[in-house]
Amino acid sequence: MFMGRGKQVRVNGKVNEKAARNPRIGKGGNPCEPLSTCRTGDDVRIVEIEGDAALKRRLRHLGLRPGKPLRVRQKSPAGMVVSSHGLKLALGKDAAEQILVETDIKKA
């Protein structure tokens, strides 16, 4: 849910002031950040994939879609390795910068 500044933003039926100040808020009410800024071992959830249509299509075919949980397995200056449901994927730095994720997710 993305809303402009100064608008009421509801998360789970309640007005969320934090979301009203920051337009990049995920469904859980947590701020979003690029995947490339996450550390090894972080559990995150994809909120949005930015970039051109070719990148979005390629990531979708790899199984990376909004709402999908990820764990950062390894990070290097050239990119990172993430896993989701037993599948490990290597992503370049440019692709990781285009994936907005929500941190501080609760594990099911």
Residue 107 lies in a domain: no
Gap between the Cα atoms of 101 and 17, Å rounded: 20
Centre a 10 Å sphere on the Cβ of residue 103 and count the other Cβ atoms it contains.
17
pLDDT at 2: 45
Q: Residue 22: is its pLDDT beyond 70?
A: no
Residue 88 lies in a domain: yes
Residues 2 and 52 in one domain: no
Digit-coded pLDDT (tens) for 40-90: 999 999 999 998 999 999 999 999 999 999 999 999 999 999 999 889 999
Q: How many CA atoms lie within 13 A of 94 on its CB side?
A: 4
Q: How many domains does the chain have?
A: 2
Gap between the Cα atoms of 85 and 108, Å rounded: 13
Q: Which domain holds residue 94?
A: 31-102
Tally DSSP H helices, then E strands, for the chain: 3, 8
pLDDT at 32: 84
Residues 69 and 35 in one domain: yes
pLDDT at 69: 94
Whether pTM > 0.75 for this model: the answer is no
Integer Rg of the chain from CA: 14
